[in-house]
Structure formats: structure tokens, C-alpha cells
Amino acid sequence: MTKRELEQIRNLNGVIKVYQTEFELLKYKSLIKGSIPTGMPFGTDVSDNTGNIATQMAEYEVLIEKTLNEMQKLRIEIMHYISTVDDNVLKQVLYYWNVCCMTWYEVANSVSKPEYVVKKMYYRHFKKEKR
């Protein structure tokens, strides 16, 4: 498995954050707008803003669910790959970085190593395998 394939969960995690942000914006969008008194007659057209927003919210929920399912499949593949690695510390680094989406600082604290050592371990692993 290549470094790019391992880091797909991190990328999908960012995509989910975008979808969730858009979902929250729709959720809290103001539906009631005051009318501007102009003294002019107004049309009787009724706009279904609530229905449109509800439809968009449902679409974002579907997108989030699909992305989460894809992440779960990737998580299983990555865990199979990590189980093939011999070095136990490297296994932890791969898990924390690629599956848990931790920062390098958090990964380093979790394995009790300096940050630069953890990064070197990670990148040397792929350099050694030429991936």
C-alpha cells in the first residue's frame, strides 16, 4: 500500500468536515425574513424555502453517510496493511497518523518519541519500500 493510499482517510476526513459545515449552515439559515414595506402591492407567489433547504440538507446527509462508509472500508484495508509491518512503534505511528488522523505532535506524544523521529520513521518506511 502506498503512502497516498494510506492517507486517503485524512483526505476524506477533510471532505466530511466541508459537508458538515455546509449542512450546519443550511440548518441555521434564517428562514423568516422581514418584509420591506414599500407601499406597493406584492405578488402571491409562494416560495418553498423550507422545502428546498430540507432537500439540500438531506442530500448532504447522504453525502456524509457515503463518505463515512468509504472511510470505514479504507480503515479495514489500512488495518490489514498495518498488521503486516514488523516494527511495533511504526505500526502505532501508521495507525495514529493514517487512521486516527492525529497531528504529528499528537502522534509523537502517543508513542513517546520526538516529533522529528516519528516523521522520519514514517517517511523512511515508504522510501525503503519505494512506495
* Predicted TM-score of the model (pTM): 0.75
| Position 109 in a domain | yes
| Position 42 in a domain | no
The pLDDT profile of the chain, 131 residues, written as one tens digit per residue, is 888 888 999 999 999 999 999 988 888 775 555 556 666 665 555 556 667 888 888 999 999 999 999 999 999 999 999 999 999 999 999 999 999 999 999 999 999 999 999 999 999 998 887 75
Residue 119 exposed, middle or buried by CB count within 10 Å (0-12, 13-18, 19+): middle
Report the 10 Å Cβ neighbour count for 114: 10
| Position 90 in a domain | yes
Backbone angles phi, psi at 55, to 5 degrees: -65, -45
- Torsion angle, alpha carbons of 5, 6, 9, 14, to 10: -80
| Position 39 in a domain | no
| Position 111 in a domain | yes
CA 101 to chain centre: 9
Domain count within the chain: 1
The CA distance from 15 to 10, in Å, is: 9
| Position 71 in a domain | yes
| Position 106 in a domain | yes
| Position 34 in a domain | no
Nearest to 92 by CA among 107, 106, 105: 107
Which residue range is the domain that position 23 belongs to? 3-29+50-129
